[in-house]
Copies of this chain bind each other. A is one copy, B any other.
Amino acid sequence: MIRRALGVCYYPEHWPESQWPEDAARMATAGLTWVRIGEFAWSRLEPTPGDLRLDWLDRAIATLGNAGLRVVLGTPTATPPRWMLDRHPDMLAWDRDGRPRGFGSRRHYDFSHAGYRAECARITRILAERYGANPHVAAWQTDNEYACHDTVLSYSPVAAAAFRQWLAARHGTVEALNEAWGNVFWSMEYNSFDQIGLPNLTVTEANPAHWLDFRRFSSDQVVAFNRVQTEILRAHTSAPLIHNYMGRITEFDHFATGADLDVASWDNYPLGFLEDRSDEGEAWKAAFQRQGDPDFQAFHHDLYRAVGRGRWWVMEQQPGPVNWAPYNPAPLPGMVRLWTWEAFAHGAEAVCYFRWRQAPFAQEAMHAGLLTPDSRDAPGLAEAAQVARELGNRPEVESFAAAKVGLVFDYASAWAWATQPQGRDFDYFRLVFAAYRGLRQAGLDIDILPPDTADLAPYALVVAPGVAAWTPVFRAALARFEGRALLGPRSGAKTEHMSIPAAMPPDLPALATRVARVESLRPGGAIPLTGGGAFHIWREITDGASEVVETTADGEAAVRHAGNLTYLAGWPDGPAMRRLMRAAAAEAGLPTLDLPDGLRRRSTPAETFWFNYAAHPVPLAAPAGDPTLPAELAPAGVHRVVKG
């Protein structure tokens, strides 16, 4: 059973204490039940080293809790105070150009710095000991937005030293490393681990195996950093442990940090992400400038549901214009409500708006809140309150069964293809997201699957494009799988060391397919498919005993079948992806729709939701094939059907 709730991010340290009670009362009145605090407050908790000032936090928690709110308490480790640098002058991460990334904003630390890790353990322990059993503190957040501002990969001497230790542990001997990386190429062989540097600032590209190990190491450092805090917190609290992830971040393995936490959460800024992190062109961005991409939020909801093993939140929800994208328009009226309901539709336990009151100062002074700086209601507040009313006294919903479609998302593949795209436009997230959009356009519900998913039995269709190297667990799961699996393009194309597998891609005997040649395609170089649409960005020339079920206009195999497995020998463009995903679902026995651009459906055993992301009304009953539905859905419209 999921109990849906709303919340808000609040910074008591930004406001006079006298204002706290009124703020708390207004939150409760608006129907909010969660309030996240503390995650940037280190300089107020410990103004100088060892001088702890927790009394104000005691009072803030009490004030909020006494108003009926449940507190999420954040560890303040994303913002070490300035004095920390005096104690640990080498704690800064370095950028790819070899420059320290200095104090003056946030996330100014290197994940590999042992001294700073110890400081984080110290402050976490202090907070855990004091608030671990506090009845108002009902959840904990570790740090804040790992990886934000490109902070996973550090090129510092500290990182280099840690990398060498990591390599020694991984490879055992330098000879083994030379062999694994293929260092005989270009005489790159090392005589000892001490000689190994970081892969930046080389004359031309470094060995892709060097990069892959460096990315793997960097991800492991995030996991280890987070674990320092979770181990301490677990010893002092039974409240759930959460981290707030971001959108389209692939630099570390979220499944790995997720394993140490109880709930995954993410910070959902649909308009900022559309402007800043979308591969779509200007026309698409203009069409959705005030609504956000119709699939981007849903994708992350499904992803973090997997990262949280079913439990997930939106920790920060955009409530109005943000300050950090290239352009920052206001949401279309109704979108704050729509975004909130879409999160619930995908299983969120809580949606917390960022932030309560817009700050008049510092870096986020132009970031909207639920209140304006002069404490009046901002437009987002009314929409939040509307959702609270709509939840009413029935905020519970049944926990979800699995969807019928599983889509594999593998962080290590993102690292592999970032290292070796082989064509300017090849990006792993883009590929998986294109498949996700195709499935959503067909009206399907999707589970995101980690790359070591052991049990595929719940699924009728499993889709796994671009998985660089199969995990043994997934190979075994596929062998047992009786549904339809759509694999490729570029799946199984690498070993764990970025080599081409001895058996040649896709390196899966059951596919009876061999990738003989690959090519990346320039804009204007798309290759039409006989069934409609085209391959763009990437295509492969294949051979093997599998059945060719569709070809390209130049006569090569585009889609191959071998039993219940399908191999896709290229990157379908939008029309082709839409068609091929519908076809795969049909082969898997799943009914599909063909939804227009703005309209999306999310269906669970308990409810069906319809969302309109378009800025104009869209027809509903007709594309849904359901005459009981309204004929059309208004812009920013949400239509919920409670089943049974």
Contact = CB atoms under 8 A, between A and B. Distances in A.
Interface in A151-184: 151, 181-184
A498 interface: yes
B285 A203 contact: no
A533 interface: no
A17 B206 CA distance: 27
Interface string A408-435: 0000000000001011100000000000
B422 A328 contact: yes
Copies of this protein, total: 3
A291 interface: no
Interface stretch (A190-198, A440-448, A476-484): A190-198
A202 B48 CA distance: 22
A105 B424 contact: no
A202 B499 contact: no
B187 A79 contact: yes
Interface stretch (A242-250, A512-520, A560-568, A588-596): A512-520
B522 A202 contact: no
Nearest to A282: B524
A163 to B, nearest CB: 13
Nearest to A185: B362
B504 A206 contact: no
A437 to B, nearest CB: 22
A499 B107 contact: no
B185 A364 contact: yes
Interface in A50-84: 76, 79-83
B187 A368 contact: no
A379 B516 CA distance: 10
Interface string A303-316: 00000000000000
A182 B522 contact: no
A363 B275 CA distance: 34
Interface in A182-221: 182-191, 195, 197, 199-210
A424 B326 contact: yes
Contacts of A149: 203-204
A119 to B, nearest CB: 13
A294 interface: no
A124 to B, nearest CB: 15
Contacts of A285: 522
A365 interface: yes
Interface stretch (A37-45, A334-342, A462-470): A37-45
Nearest to A379: B517
21 contacts: A81-B187, A83-B191, A101-B201, A103-B202, A104-B188, A104-B202, A105-B203, A105-B206, A148-B204, A149-B204, A182-B359, A185-B363, A286-B524, A286-B525, A320-B517, A326-B423, A326-B424, A327-B424, A361-B498, A365-B499, A372-B516
